[in-house]
Structure 1
Amino acid sequence: MPRHVQTPSDTAHTLLQGDRLSRDFTAVGVEDTVAQALEKLRAHPGTGEVFYCYACDPDGRLVGVVPIRKLIRAGPDERIASLMFTRVVKLPVDASDAVVEDFFVTYRFLAFPVVDADGRIVGVVEMNQFVDAFSDTLFDEVEGRVRDEVYRFVGLPEGEERETRPGRMALKRFPWLLVNIAGGFLAATTTRLFERTVAELVVVSAFIPMVLVLSESLGVQTTAVSVSMVSHGEVDKKVVVREVLAASLAGLMAATVVALLGRFYSPGFGFPLALFVAVTVSATLASCLGGVLPFLFKRLKVDPHLASAPLVLAVSDNVTLLAYFGLVTRLLL
C-alpha cells in the first residue's frame, strides 16, 4: 500500500481541481472481443500515448485492465474477460497530488485509472503529467538503495552512514579486516617458502602485482554478479555458469598477453609458460569462487555482500602465488 499519510494541506488540491486528469482513455466491455476493442481504440485514437485499455461491466464500473501490448498480441476472437487483470490499482477522484505521486513511486505504473464513488472510470492520470513532481522522490529512493548496495559490497555494514560513533564504526568493520590480514599473512608465508626462487630470479618479483591483480579483478566481477542475484532473489544457474565461463575465458586471454610480456624479460620459454599457467589457473579459480560463495553464504545466513569479496580475494591470492612460484621454481631452477 502507498506509504503516504494525508494531512489537511494535502487535500487542498485534488485531481478534479487540477488539469492532470485526462479524459483521453478507452473503455471496453468485459464481453467485447479483441477485434471490437481494437476497433474502439481506432475510433478514439486520442492525442497521447495509450498504455492500457480499461474493461467495464454493463453498469460502467471498472473491473479490469488490459495492457495494450497484450491486446495487440491476442487473437481477434478472444474475450477481454480472459485477458484483463482484475486486481486494478485505481485512484479516487478526490486524491490529492501527494497521493498520486506516491502511487507512481510505489507501483511504478505508467498510468492509473481514476474512478468516482460508484467505481465508474472518469479519467486517467499518466506518469508524464507528474514526472516533474515525483522525480526527485524517486531519484532519492533509488540513490539510497544503490548507495546501500555499494557500501555493503565494499565491506561496510548496513546503516553505516547513519552511525555517528567512530568507535562503533571501527568495531563493525574490523572483523572483515581480519580476513584480509589472514589472507595477507598466508601470502607472505607462501612468498617466504619460495625465498630462494625470488632471490635468484628478480624478474619473478616484478610480475607478482600483475599476476595477483588479474585474478582479483575477475573474482570480484563474478562476485558482484552473484551477489546481485542473491540480493534480488533471482537465482539463475545458467547466468552464473555463463558468467564464470566468460571470466575464465577473459583470464585465459589475459594470461596470453602476460606471457608475451614475460618473454621480453626472460630469454627462454619457462618463465612465460609459468606466467601463462599461473594466471589461467588463478583466474579460473577466482571466477568459480566468485560465482559460488555468495550463494553458499546466503544458505549459511551470512551476508554475502560482506563475506564474499574478502574471502574470494584471500583464497585467489594464495592459490595464485602457490601456482606462480611453484611453476617458476620447477621450470627455471
Structure 2
Amino acid sequence: MATPDEDHSLLRSDRLSRDFVSVGAEDTVAQALEKIRSTPGTNEIFYCYACDPAGRLVGVVPIRKLIRTAPEERISSLMFTRVVKLPADAPDSLVEDFFVTYRFLAFPVVDAEGRIVGVVEVGNFVDTFSDTLFDEVEGRVRDEVFRFVGLPEDEMKERRPLHMALRRFPWLLVNIGGGFLAATVSRIFEQTVERLVVVAAFIPMVLVLSESLGVQTTAVSASMLAEQRVDPPQVRREVLGTSLAGMMAAAVVALLGSLYAHNLTFPLVLFIAITLSTSLAAGLGAVLPFLFHRFRVDPHMASAPLVLAISDNITLFTYFSLVTHLVVRGPL
C-alpha cells in the first residue's frame, strides 16, 4: 500500500482520465448512444454516467446494458443509483483499495458538489501497483493457509524457537490423543488382524479417504466463517456431494478388495465402512467450524485436527467391527 508521503490527489494525477460520457438522467437510450458516438476519445469506455440538471452524478449504466435496451427507454429506468465514486482529493491508497474491494473496471471521480470531473480506469492505475497488490494478496493467502494448518498468522515474525514450539504443541496433543485412541482400537481387534492379514493392508486407504473428505468440508465451512456468512443450503449440498464422492471411492476400493477375497463379503465390508466413515467425516467437517466459532475458538486452528482425530477412530472402529462380525466369524 502507498505511504502517506506517496499519496497525492486524483485532480493532480495523470491517472485521472477526462474521456468519459455523461448524459442526462431523463435522456433516452438513443440520445445517450448518439452522444457516445459523437464524443471523441471514447473507444474504450465501460460505463455511461447519468447526471441531474445541476450536473451532479446520480447514476451509472454499463455500456453493455445500454446497447441491449430499446432506444426509447429512459436512462433513469436503467441506471444504478447506488454509485461507487471517488472524491477528487482521494489519495492513491484509497483508489487502490477501491479496485481491490469492488473489482470494477473504472470509477467516477466527483468534486465537493458531487459533479463528475473524470474517471479512473483499471488499466491506468492498477498496473503501477501490481507488485504491491500481488504481495498483499499473497500475504492474505499465506495467513489463511497458516491458520488452517494450525499456525498463527504472525508465525513468520516469530524469532524465538521455544515460543514457536509452545504455540504448536497444543494441536500436536490432539494428534497424539487421536493416534493413541487409534492404537487402542487396533489393539482391541488384534485377533481380527492376526486372522485376516489383508485387513491391515487396507487400513491406510480406508483412513486417508475419510481424512481427505473431512478436511475438504472443513475448508468450505471455515471459508464461510472467514467471509462472515452462513449458507445452510450450501453446507447441506457440500455434505451430500462429499458423501456421494466417498461412496464412489468406496466402490473403487471394494473392487480392489475383491482381488484379495474369495467372495463378496470383504469387498462389501470395505464399501460399507468407507461410505459410513466418509459421510461422518463430511458432516463433522461441515459442523465443527461453526461450533468452534460459537464458543470463540478459532475454527481454522481447531477444526481440522479434531475432525481427523474423530473420523480416524470412528473409521477404524467401524471397519474392524464389520470385518470381525461379517468376515472373520463367517466365510471369507
Q: Give TM-score, length-normalised by structure 1.
A: 0.87
SS of residue matched to 2:129: helix
The 1:217/1:86 distance shift into structure 2, 3 A limit, reads closer
1:278 partnered with 2:273:
yes
Q: 2:129 is matched with which residue: 134, 147, 166?
A: 134
CA RMSD of aligned residues (A): 2.7
Equivalent position of 1:323 in the other structure: 318
Equivalent position of 1:152 in the other structure: 147
| C-alpha displacement of 1:102 | 5.4
Percentage of pairs with the same residue:
68
> Distance between the aligned counterparts of 1:258 and 1:86, measured in 2?
55
| C-alpha displacement of 1:254 | 0.9
| C-alpha displacement of 1:321 | 0.6
> Distance between the aligned counterparts of 2:91 and 2:232, measured in 1?
46
Mean CA deviation greater in 130-139 or 311-320? 130-139
Equivalent position of 1:264 in the other structure: 259
Deviations 1:19-41 (A, max 9, x none): x4333211111333444334433
The 1:197/1:298 distance shift into structure 2, 3 A limit, reads same
| C-alpha displacement of 1:267 | 1.5
Q: Is the 8 A contact 1:101 1:133 kept in 2?
A: no
Deviations 1:219-278 (A, max 9, x none): 111111111111112322222111111111111111111111111112222211111111
SS of residue matched to 1:310: helix
1:218 partnered with 2:222:
no
Q: 2:249 is matched with which residue: 246, 249, 254?
A: 254
Deviations 1:265-295 (A, max 9, x none): 1222221111111111101111111111111
Q: Is the 8 A contact 1:65 1:88 kept in 2?
A: no
SS of residue matched to 1:169: helix
Q: 2:227 is matched with which residue: 232, 236, 240?
A: 232
The 1:88/1:186 distance shift into structure 2, 3 A limit, reads closer
Moved over 6 A (4+): none
Equivalent position of 1:205 in the other structure: 200
Equivalent position of 1:169 in the other structure: 164
The 1:313/1:47 distance shift into structure 2, 3 A limit, reads same
Q: Which runs of 5+ in 1 are unaligned?
A: none
Equivalent position of 1:62 in the other structure: 57
Matched letter for residue 293 of structure 1: L
Equivalent position of 2:183 in the other structure: 188
Q: 1:80 is matched with which residue: 76, 81, 94?
A: 76
| C-alpha displacement of 1:156 | 0.7
Equivalent position of 1:178 in the other structure: 173
Deviations 1:109-129 (A, max 9, x none): 322334457654343221101
Q: Give TM-score, length-normalised by structure 2.
A: 0.88
Equivalent position of 1:53 in the other structure: 48
Q: Which runs of 5+ in 2 are unaligned?
A: none
Equivalent position of 2:17 in the other structure: 22
SS of residue matched to 1:264: helix
> Distance between the aligned counterparts of 1:165 and 1:104, measured in 2?
38
Aligned length: 327
SS of residue matched to 2:230: coil
